[in-house]
Structure 1
Amino acid sequence: MRRSFYHYLMTLRAPKKTAESQFANDAARDIQFPKQSEDYHELSTYLEMNADYLTNMHIFDELWEKYVENNK
């Protein structure tokens, strides 16, 4: 069963302050995050236009690659 990127991202939430965990924690608080999406372009556009908490899109790109590998 495929899961959304948001669902994958929520597995990375942690009190430890890494770039990945901070992104996951911030996304969890973002009520408009596209929670059902499995589409890279939809998510990247949303993050670029609406998410001021993600300071570097490179973090998203790295996590997207891990998500794709994990969802095969």
Structure 2
Amino acid sequence: MRQPFFTWLMTQRNPVAMTDIQNFANAAFYDQSFPKQSDDFDAISRYLEENAPYLHSLTIFDEAWQDYLSSNR
């Protein structure tokens, strides 16, 4: 079983964020309602669409998801 997406995303945090994914990770860290145990693309995507004003574009999530999948091979 792969690790939850949120766990992977937290490895991307950077206090001096340079990339969109780092900014996403930094903001998600403070999101108390983020589905932290999920590894389901649709569930996380739906959550972000409805509840994440800090994510400027879902394209950033798509890129992060691809990196997440690549790291779990």
**TM > 0.5:** yes
Measured on the aligned residues, the alpha-carbon RMSD in Å equals 0.9
Percent identity, aligned pairs only, is: 49
- Show structure 1 runs of 4+ deviating over 3 A: none
Whole-Å Cα distance in 2 between the matches of residues 21 and 62 of structure 1? 12
Paired residue for 2:39? 38
Paired residue for 2:67? 66
Deviation string, structure 1 residues 6-41 (Cα, Å, up to 9, x no partner): 000000000122211110010000000000000000
Q: Size of the alignment, in residue pairs?
A: 72
Whole-Å Cα distance in 1 between the matches of residues 2 and 57 of structure 2? 26
Q: What is the one-letter code of the residue matched to 2:8? A: Y
Unaligned runs of 5+ in 1: none
Deviation at 1:57, TM superposition (A): 0.6
Whole-Å Cα distance in 1 between the matches of residues 3 and 9 of structure 2? 10
> SS of the residue aligned with 1:61?
helix
Unaligned runs of 5+ in 2: none
Whole-Å Cα distance in 2 between the matches of residues 64 and 37 of structure 1? 12
- Within 5 A, what are the aligned runs for 1:11-30? 11-17=11-17, 18-30=19-31
Paired residue for 1:51? 52
TM-score (normalised: structure 1): 0.94
TM-score (normalised: structure 2): 0.93
Higher deviation after alignment, 11-20 or 60-69: 11-20
